[in-house]
Amino acid sequence: MADNPVDNRIDNLNKLRGQARQGGGAKRIEAQHAKGKLTARERVNLLFDQGSFEELDAFVTHRATDFGLDEQKFLGDSVVTGYGKIDGRLAYVYAQDFTVIGGTLSLVASEKICKVMDLAAKNGAPCIGLLDSGGARIQEGVDSLKGYAEIFTRNTLYSGVVPQISVVMGPTAGGAVYSPAITDFIFMVKGIGQMYITGPDVIKTVCGEEVSHEDLGGAMVHAKRSGVCHFVADSEQEVLQMVCRLMSFLPQNNMEETPRVDTGDDPDRSDEALLSVVPADAAKVYDMKEIITRVVDAGDFMEVHKHFAPNLVVGFARLAGQAVGIVAQQPSYMAGVIDINASDKGARFVRFCDCFNIPLITFVDVPGYMPGTDQEFGGIIRHGAKFLYAYAEASVPKISVIVRKAYGGAYVVMSSKGLRGDINYAWPSAEIAVMGPDGAVNIVFRSEIAKAGNPEEARQRLIEEYRSKFANPYVAAARGYIDDVIDPRETRRKLIKALEMLKNKVDTLPAKKHGNIPL
């Protein structure tokens, strides 16, 4: 009996599929595991709902022949691409495969990546990159570089169209770092994920500096010092769970509203503890995150950029089930002052929320912008202007609560009425003025204090007079700059009511190609 040709073809198909799943082969997979790293397909399977992943381009191979590449062909080449479901919602992925020629980017690998990016944009769903690569494939020369350029272009064109997330799970060097840098959020795994423009060997040769891969471009370096990384995890399993959690707060694209989740938390819930969180002494510190977690649904707050510029807190939460973006000062770190790094951190987060229709809730306790020659020479004017620009440009619902201090230009930037803030609340403890009492008295009453018989006594008397007049929210409320002075216990209910009122808000910008943010 002759063989059935259909059965033979299916057998051949299954054989080739099995070959593609092996990536660079058993030895290279074993080497990947020996480094404590998962393979590209193992990562994809952890990310997506069980059985939902559909691979694309599993049979693609590179077309290069120079430098022995004609003998190094692997089905699928150095990246696994496709789509699937995360908590039942569509998402696209590309996962670089380090077992295939070190995960280096070939022309066909870039074409595979660009294909899923295009599909993500056309179908309005997030695109996630799992990065683990030795960089451009040197043997392909300019073709590889052209491939990076195509990816960068799509990162840019689709920015603000669909969420783009990068997860650094291995080396990412040279031009390869610019793709994640353009995306919305970067996750890194401690110990195995690194990012740098030039590696330790080049730095030693050119600059004479000796530095390890981890000290140069590891997760905590970028999370704390450079601000490149938004989230850090201890393991690959943890980082993928964090990605899924972030996705739960985000819409699929820029045309959708944020997802709603029934958290079971009473929208009318009040909290007595909010009466005592802020110390009576304006010079004492407290943890702003306690206010945030007490106000939002079930205390669930996903902080972004936790380790970078901790004087400003940003992140995602829910109010009555609706996802919101939170921006707040942190009085327990540098008194919550706004510096260069906080300006960049806040501006980027505000702009992301505005891109994807995520309402902004702002908690204010800010003494001002950071003084000092380092800040001035470092461009605090330019960086601080980014924060102002972002808030003024944002057209999503913007609600603020002044908890304590709101002085000078720092008051203005934090979603104030003049920057098109929709609803501006203040607690009775709020102090709204051009500057703090000490500085104001020293400037305004300099001559009077100098002439007084007891200058220090006169200064203290004038400080108390200034404090009684301006260290409260009622002057601003009398002018309509504050919409209501609220009982701290009712903050949650007030915010939820305001969000409900603003759900159909429409705000526009003048017709233009785009603005020129002070980068």
The residues carrying an active-site annotation are 174-175, 409-410
Residue 364 near residue 324 (C-beta atoms within 8 A): no
**The residue type at 155:** N
Measure the CA–CA gap between 97 and 31, rounded to whole angstroms.
Answer: 12
Which of 437, 443, 363 has its CA nearest to residue 407?
A: 437
Residue 47 near residue 86 (C-beta atoms within 8 A): yes
**Structure tokens belonging to residue 107:** 């022309």
Measure the CA–CA gap between 518 and 346, rounded to whole angstroms.
Answer: 14
Please say whether the dihedral angle defined by the alpha carbons of residues 482, 485, 488 and 489, taken in this order, is positive or negative.
negative
Q: Is 361 helix (H, G, I), strand (E, B) or coil?
A: strand
Q: Name the H helices within 22-140.
A: 26-34, 40-47, 107-123
Q: Using the 8-state DSSP alphabet, how is residue 221 labeled?
A: I
Q: Which helix (H) or strand (E) holds 22?
A: none
Q: Please enumerate in sequence order all residues whose Cβ is within 8 A of that of 439, keeping only pairs 6 or more positions apart, or say none.
A: none
Please tell me the number of Cα atoms within 13 Å of 454 on its side-chain side.
6
Q: Is 195 helix (H, G, I), strand (E, B) or coil?
A: strand
**Structure tokens belonging to residue 195:** 């990012």
Q: Is 442 helix (H, G, I), strand (E, B) or coil?
A: helix
Q: Is 276 helix (H, G, I), strand (E, B) or coil?
A: coil
**Structure tokens belonging to residue 7:** 């059965």
Measure the CA–CA gap between 336 and 309, rounded to whole angstroms.
Answer: 10
Helices and strands (DSSP H and E) totals, the chain:
20, 17
